[in-house]
């Protein structure tokens, strides 16, 4: 659920899903070249679009946990545990966009999330040959998102676009799912964060024929809430997220374009009852995204992008397909 501003920014450069010709013929424009030729990049007043999307995310983790102390450099007294986890998430999304004015756009996104989590744990220090395997899968509605975007300038470059996104908690919260004490994992899959969040962002687009440079900065503020943990009620404050990124979109021809961009996200430490948890840590997530867009007809295009994680905590790979249709 992170990094939406930079994803939207690269999507603009790939398929220009919000760019509509505001002249009398109302032809839809879908390429990077449209940013160079036209000054508005959001949906004009009264026009709207509907976008279907499918994303596939894979993340794996191999860890060796040691709980004990060292007597000699080669002798450890305690427990050694080896775990292997694979998480696969498929998200089906439906996004509607409406131009409120020529400079302001409204967006509504409804996702359906299907997950498959597989975890293998083996306590090798105990001398037991038993391997604990756990697999969970299932799907449900994700967190509904509502957004507004506003383009601040038209007569000069670069173009500046401000955004504000509200993420609800309509998805299945991980705090509402029981924990398996054997593997210390959830007994079911979660499809939402369990918290409301607000995300302001600022995007810059700089046309330089035949390319468009873009940069983005955003901040995700998670609203703290009371959560039932066992028989206790605790106030949980998820760590906020700072994101920054940039890249370039390039028009190959009037119907084909591609983009490349990098994103860095810093997730701050979470707090429980106003105090940082003992195992809380600062996370740094870096990723590289490349994509290509093909205009199929005057009102629809095909946008395919792939994202690779560059740091340990970032998802290993994400493949996304978007097909917008303009009315």
CATH number, domain with residue 288:
2.40.160.40
Q: Is residue 71 predicted with pLDDT exceeding 50?
A: no
Number of folded domains that form the chain:
1
Q: Is residue 325 predicted with pLDDT exceeding 70?
A: yes
Q: Is residue 86 within 8 Å of residue 45, measured between CB atoms?
A: no
User: Which helix (H) or strand (E) is 77 found in, with range?
Assistant: strand 75-99
Q: Is residue 269 within 8 Å of residue 238, measured between CB atoms?
A: no
Q: Is residue 267 predicted with pLDDT exceeding 90?
A: yes
pLDDT of residue 21: 34
- Strands (E) in 170-240, as ranges, are 179-180, 185-186, 197-208, 211-222, 225-229, 232-237
Q: Is residue 266 predicted with pLDDT exceeding 60?
A: yes
pLDDT of residue 160: 95
Q: How far apart are CA 67 and CA 78, in angstroms?
A: 6
Q: Mean per-residue pLDDT for 297-317?
A: 91
Strands 159-167 and 132-141: unpaired
User: Which helix (H) or strand (E) is 290 found in, with range?
Assistant: strand 283-297
Q: Quick one: pLDDT band at residue 81, thresholds 50, 70, 90?
A: low
* Angstrom distances, CA of residue 296 to CA of 15, 96, 155, 250, 316: 11, 20, 31, 18, 30
Q: Which domain holds residue 107?
A: 4-326
Q: Is residue 251 predicted with pLDDT exceeding 90?
A: no
Instruction: Output phi, psi for 13, to 5 deg.
Output: -75, -25
CA-nearest of 285, 281, 303, 305 to 294 is 303
Q: Quick one: pLDDT band at residue 292, thresholds 50, 70, 90?
A: very high
Q: Quick one: pLDDT band at residue 12, thresholds 50, 70, 90?
A: low
Q: What is the DSSP string of 56-70?
A: EEEEEEEEEEEEEEE
How many helices (H) does the chain have, and how many strands (E)? 2, 19
Q: Is 39 left (phi over 0), alpha (psi -120 to 50) or beta?
A: alpha
- Residue with the larger pLDDT of the pair 187 and 240: 240
Q: Is residue 225 predicted with pLDDT exceeding 70?
A: yes
Q: What average pLDDT is seen over the chain?
A: 81
Please say whether the dihedral angle defined by the alpha carbons of residues 145, 286, 248 and 307, taken in this order, is positive or negative.
negative
Q: Which two tokens stand for residue 189?
A: 């899959």
């Amino acid at each position: 659920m992170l990094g939406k501003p930079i994803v939207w920014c690269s999507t603009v450069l790939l398929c220009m899903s919000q760019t509509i010709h505001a002249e009398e013929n109302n032809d839809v424009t879908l390429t990077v070249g449209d940013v160079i030729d036209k000054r508005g990049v959001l949906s004009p007043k009264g026009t709207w679009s509907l976008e279907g999307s499918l994303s596939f995310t894979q993340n794996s983790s191999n860890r060796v946990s040691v709980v004990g102390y060292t007597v000699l450099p080669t002798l450890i007294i305690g427990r050694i545990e080896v775990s292997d986890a694979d998480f696969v998430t498929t998200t089906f999304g439906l996004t509607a966009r409406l131009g409120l004015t020529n400079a302001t756009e409204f967006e509504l996104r409804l996702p359906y999330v299907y997950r498959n989590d597989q975890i293998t744990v083996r306590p090798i220090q105990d001398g037991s040959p038993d391997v604990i395997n756990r697999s969970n899968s299932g799907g449900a509605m994700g967190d509904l998102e509502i957004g507004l975007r506003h383009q601040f300038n038209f007569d000069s470059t670069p173009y500046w676009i401000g955004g504000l996104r509200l993420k609800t908690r309509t998805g299945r919260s991980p705090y509402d799912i029981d924990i398996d004490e054997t593997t210390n994992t959830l007994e079911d899959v979660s499809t939402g964060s369990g918290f409301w969040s607000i995300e302001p962002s600022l995007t810059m687009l700089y046309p330089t024929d035949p390319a468009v440079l873009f940069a983005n900065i955003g901040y995700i503020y998670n609203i703290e809430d009371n959560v039932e943990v066992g028989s206790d009620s605790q106030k949980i404050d998820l760590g906020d997220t700072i994101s920054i990124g940039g890249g370039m979109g390039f028009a190959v021809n009037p119907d084909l374009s591609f983009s490349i961009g990098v994103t860095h996200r810093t997730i701050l430490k979470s707090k429980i009852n106003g105090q940082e948890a003992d195992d809380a840590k600062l996370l740094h997530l870096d990723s590289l995204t490349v994509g290509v867009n093909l205009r199929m007809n005057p009102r629809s295009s095909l946008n395919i992008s792939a994202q690779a994680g560059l740091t340990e905590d970032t998802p290993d790979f994400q493949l996304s397909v978007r097909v917008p249709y303009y009315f």
